[in-house]
């Protein structure tokens, strides 16, 4: 796991570990039974970028060396783009888009994915405003009818407000849930 002096640190309590070391210990617990699939829920959100890079490097090694499949749950698009082979985008409890990470980032299909990418301060010239998605996430107990994203979508039509959108495959491995792709 990359914990230095493991014999000595075995007897220590969690509070004696740094954040990155604690996360390594958690990964060690998760891997102790040699699982085929590891679900990593925001494993680096609480960590600094330099430590985040170390933890992602460790997870990548586990993936390549032992063949453990990893589901990485994150809100950080850059981490997802760098670390993952495939990317699934969720909104209000539903899968909105699924495809190879590179394609989803470079040619997003769903307006929500496009909106997320546009709101990143990445490559936006200084001084020009960012384009956030208008509005906020709906109350999950009172989802709008039709597509859950329709109130915030800039290309929504009548059918989007009435019926749930179909899952549309645009290529063998890239699909999204949107009426505008039909």
Partner 1 sequence: MTEALVVVKDLKKHFPVQRSLVAKLLTGTKDQWVRAVDGVDFVIHNQETLGLVGESGCGKTTLGRTLVGLYEPTAGSVTFAGQDVFQLKKTNPVAFYRQVQMVFQNPYASLNPRKTVREILSQPLKVRDRYNPKELEEAIQRLLEQVGLNKYHMDRYPHQFSGGQRQRVSIARALAMQPSFIVCDEPVSALDVSVQAQILNLLQDLQVRHQLTYLFISHDLSVVRYLCDRVAVMYLGKIVELGNTEEVFNHPVHPYTEALLSSMPQIKRDPNQKKILLTGSVPSPLDPPPGCSFHPRCIAKVGKICELESPELIACSPGHFAACHRGQA
65 belongs to the binding site for partner 1 (CB under 8 A): no
Binding mask 1-20 for partner 1 (x = CB under 8 A): -----------------xxx
Which pair of tokens denotes residue 10?
């075995």
Q: With CB under 8 A as the rule, give the number of residues binding partner 1.
A: 39
- What's the full length of the chain, in residues? 182
| Residue 86 DSSP SS3 | strand
Return the DSSP state at 101: H
| Rg of the chain in Å (alpha carbons) | 20
Q: Which run of H or E residues covers position 37?
A: strand 37-41
Of 63-71, 131-139, 141-149, 172-180: span binding partner 1 (CB under 8 A): 131-139
93 belongs to the binding site for partner 1 (CB under 8 A): no
Of 7-15, 28-36, 81-89, 156-164: span binding partner 1 (CB under 8 A): 81-89
- List, as own/partner pairs, every contact residues 166-170 make where C-beta atoms lie below 8 angstroms and the sequence separation is at least 24, other chains included: 168/109, 170/109
The residue ranges that bind partner 1 (CB under 8 A) are: 18-21, 48-54, 56-57, 75-79, 81-83, 105-106, 115-117, 119-122, 124, 126-127, 129-133, 136
């Amino acid at each position: 796991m990359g914990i230095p002096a493991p014999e000595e640190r075995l007897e220590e309590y969690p509070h004696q570990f740094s954040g990155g070391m604690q996360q390594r210990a958690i990964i060690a617990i998760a891997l102790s039974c040699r699982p085929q699939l590891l679900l990593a829920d925001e494993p680096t959100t609480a960590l600094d970028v330099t430590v985040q890079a170390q933890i992602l490097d460790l997870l990548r090694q586990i993936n390549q060396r032992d063949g453990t499949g990893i589901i990485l749950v994150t809100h950080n698009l850059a981490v997802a783009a760098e670390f993952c082979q495939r990317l699934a985008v969720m909104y209000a409890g539903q899968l909105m888009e699924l495809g190879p990470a590179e394609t989803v980032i470079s040619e997003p299909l769903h307006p929500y994915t496009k909106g997320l990418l546009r709101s990143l301060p990445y490559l936006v010239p200084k001084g020009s405003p960012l384009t956030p998605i208008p509005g906020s996430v709906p109350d999950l107990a009172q989802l709008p009818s039709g597509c859950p994203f329709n109130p915030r979508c800039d290309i929504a039509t009548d059918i989007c407000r009435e019926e749930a959108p179909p899952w549309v495959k645009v290529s063998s491995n890239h699909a999204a849930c949107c009426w505008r792709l039909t």
